[in-house]
Amino acid sequence: MNQKTLKGVAKAALFLCDEGGVLMNTVEPIRDMDLVLDVADYLKSNNERNFVLFMFGIYTGLRISDILKFRIRDVKGKDAVYIREKKTGKEKRFPINDELKPIIENYIAQGRNLLIAGEPRRQEQMNAIIAPLGLAFLPGLLVQESKDYPADLILSKATHAAAGLTRSFYRMAYYNYCITMPSAVGIEQVADKGFNLTPLLTSDSTDSWNELETTNFIEDTARINPAIGEIEKANITMAYLTRQVNGKEQRIIVLGDADCIGNGELSRQRDGINASNFSVITESFRLLSYDEFPVDTSRKRTSDDKVYLGEKAGVWIKILFMGGLPGILTILSLALWWKRRKK
């Protein structure tokens, strides 16, 4: 089969994985095993990501809309995945066979770009995943003293390093915007694994710490306890890792909270808080796609944007606007009045 035909079959196969296809009333599966292997070989040589998605669908029978929901922690080192199917709403167990496991592990080890989001009470499971990155999620959860909101609502701010990476982070830092994170965990570097670490977001350096005791912030009040290691300081809530792998820069973003990019936080407004949570999504895409997406439509500021007036020019402008223009309007008004009076 030629490359053009095989490319078309590959695209159709990926499309038909999504909701069973919508181009025809009856969808027939690909029964020719040689054709399936040809598609897999083509995708592996042209697009590693699509190859992994295709093989995941082949070995599990899942729709692409269900596969795209998986995170690294859902599949790495696991014998099965559990999902709630989008079409049926039922939770099912899908085993990951021995042939699919090395495909997933190899994709992660090849230096692909990743975004990993942590959550409180999942540090033990998540730390096993980010340990090869030299990072760890702190135990407990971050808190920030507030008179109006629960203590576990963290207002993360862009760092100076982040402001130097993208314009959106720069605007966040300049206008003092924040990222609202309900129930976030701190991130720390525990080992050198060859990555360059750049903190993108941090919690406040004052009135904020990693809480190890309090869990109910509605009925109880969080109080800092230095005796057990609670220290008032800024903690990393969004980390950016880079390294060179096979002549290409690998980029990995680690978030201390997944809810900050969920629909709930993106659409929520709080009095007195200028949130810019959507910037986390756009700037993550920008960094992970090497500035290819989203397209930057902003214009460069003009270099000639200031007007300098001397003392004499100021006097003439004052005469023009306070005497000249009013005088001209008065003369025109009198002329119009005289013309109408003669009629």
Do residues 35 and 124 both lie within one domain?
A: no
Residue pLDDT, tens place only, 13-72: 554 444 444 444 455 667 778 888 888 888 888 888 888 888 878 877 777 767 766 766
Range of the domain at 210: 113-288
Do residues 218 and 69 both lie within one domain?
A: no
Domain membership flag for residue 146: yes
Do residues 104 and 132 both lie within one domain?
A: no
Cα separation, 150 vs 181, in Å, equals 11
- What pLDDT, on a 0 to 100 scale, did the predictor assign at position 72? 67
Do residues 66 and 181 both lie within one domain?
A: no
Residue pLDDT, tens place only, 253-303: 999 999 999 989 999 999 999 999 999 999 999 999 999 988 877 777 777
Do residues 170 and 247 both lie within one domain?
A: yes
Domain membership flag for residue 335: no
**Torsion of Cα atoms, 246 then 296 then 284 then 62, to 10°:** -80
Domain membership flag for residue 334: no
Do residues 103 and 120 both lie within one domain?
A: no
Domain membership flag for residue 59: yes
The total domain count for the chain is 2
> At which of 62, 90, 108 does a domain end?
108
Vertex 267, ends 150 and 201: CA angle to 5°?
60
Domain membership flag for residue 196: yes
pLDDT greater than 80 at residue 328: yes
Cα separation, 120 vs 58, in Å, equals 34
Do residues 15 and 124 both lie within one domain?
A: no
Do residues 125 and 254 both lie within one domain?
A: yes
> At which of 268, 288, 308 does a domain end?
288
- Return all residues near 312 (Cβ < 8 A) that are at least 6 apart: none
Domain membership flag for residue 308: no
Do residues 141 and 226 both lie within one domain?
A: yes
**Nearest CA-CA partner of 255 in 232, 283, 292, 233:** 283
Residue 126: band (very low, low, confident or very high) from pLDDT cuts 50, 70, 90:
confident
Residue pLDDT, tens place only, 66-112: 776 676 666 666 677 777 655 566 677 777 777 776 876 687 778 88
> At which of 73, 108, 143 does a domain end?
108
Cα separation, 230 vs 213, in Å, equals 9
Residue 306: band (very low, low, confident or very high) from pLDDT cuts 50, 70, 90:
confident
* pTM for this predicted structure: 0.65
Do residues 255 and 176 both lie within one domain?
A: yes
**Nearest CA-CA partner of 58 in 26, 16, 21, 91:** 16
Do residues 207 and 284 both lie within one domain?
A: yes
**Nearest CA-CA partner of 40 in 22, 26, 59:** 59
Domain membership flag for residue 320: no
Domain membership flag for residue 295: no
- What pLDDT, on a 0 to 100 scale, did the predictor assign at position 6? 53
Do residues 63 and 170 both lie within one domain?
A: no
